[in-house]
Amino acid sequence: MENFLRFPLEQIPFVFLVLLIAFTLHEFAHAYAADRFGDPTPRSMGRVTLNPKVHLDLLGTILIFLVGFGWAKPVLVRRSSFRKPRLMSIIVSAVGPLANLVIAFIGILLTYLLAYFGLFDLMSPGVFEAVRVFLSLLIFMNLILFLFNLLPLPPLDGYRIVQEFLPVHTRLKLQQFEQWAFFLFLLIVFIRPLYNVTLGPFFSLWVPLLFGMDSVFQVIFGKAIHWATFLKIG
């Protein structure tokens, strides 16, 4: 069974915990921003909440375990409710991926704090390994989800952002092909040669993202985390 999973079996509980955090805060960010901008739809559908149950999507959750990325249940937003539809729609779409980026940032900060104050050294081997796996997955998965959601494919946030910069007639034309985008995405994911020249290089950007944020903490703490040793994922 492990051959079919993106993560080792012993990491699955940690993956699920990270998934709950990542998906819940991502969708809550969308719902909260839309609600603040005057759209009553997310609140009326019970989405302005930190309850993970209302945000999880079955297929998107399964894909996390199989391929390492997936999605939650999209928050329905009516841009016509916004005072400035284009600007506010872009912000509402962007805050979801940004929430994942912030979570990864917090994960890096926690790692530095534990190392700086010598708390890792006080842990038993078992506790250290559990904390290491959790923090590694928290950082890795949220950076991947940040990148994944920026893809310009419907119904992802990147597509919604790009839409707002297109002329109306172009947007209407694109809507005719939205139903096929999901199947195109699955083809790219499961046909390895296609993945290797498209999504693979894009998702590898999580590494420079990590080191970009890490450089900030190196300055603050005056020391560096050896990420190649710390991040032993999958």
pLDDT digits (tens, 9 = 90+) for 177-210: 888 887 888 888 888 899 899 999 999 999 999 9
d(CA 79, CA 66): 34
Q: How many CB atoms lie within 10 A of CB 120?
A: 15
Q: How many CB atoms lie within 10 A of CB 91?
A: 17
Active site residue 27: yes
- Residue 110 identity: L
What is the CA 115 to chain-centroid distance, rounded? Answer: 25
Say which of 27, 129, 164, 178 is annotated catalytic.
27
d(CA 98, CA 112): 21
Q: Are 28 and 50 in contact (CB under 8 A)?
A: yes
Identify the weakest region by mean pLDDT among 90-99, 153-162, 165-174: 165-174
What would the pLDDT profile of 222-233 be if each residue is shown by its tens digit?
Answer: 999 999 999 985
What is the percentage of the chain residues whose pLDDT exceeds 70?
Answer: 97
Q: How many CB atoms lie within 10 A of CB 223?
A: 10
pLDDT of residue 67: 78
d(CA 69, CA 18): 12
